Amino acid sequence: MDIGILRSVCLSFPAVTEEVKWVNDLCFCIGEKMFCVASLEPPHTFSFKVTDSEFDELSETEGFKPAPYLARAKWVLVTDSSKLSRKDLKNYLQQSYDLIKAKIPKKQKRDLGLD
């Protein structure tokens, strides 16, 4: 997956910021909470949050595995992005964004223009 495509999709959502953390990881955040993390070093793997019901299924799917350090929070690591269509990528990233956004306090959502 081209990192530019991932950036384009993530930055298309309202109030998203990006920053490099841990030297080589590009983090996409809403209200300072991550919803996608991508490796800046090839191969460009990336992680995002999924629903509880999708976590087990995706974790056993070729090209995916539980995300290191974040699996307990139901994040998956995409190790082979060719297993995802652009439509599926956008849907999973939108879902991850929505799952994280739902946890942001109402006042902060207002401040971010998300109410």
Domains in the chain, number:
1
Q: Mind listing the pLDDT tens digit for each residue in 27-52?
A: 999 999 999 999 998 888 999 999 99
Please report, for the domain that includes residue 105, its CATH number.
3.90.1150.30
* Average pLDDT score over residue span 44-67: 95
pTM of the model: 0.94
Look up residue 67 and give its DSSP letter: P
Q: What is the domain extent for residue 98?
A: 3-112
How many residues in the chain?
A: 115
Q: How far apart are CA 41 and CA 12, in angstroms?
A: 23
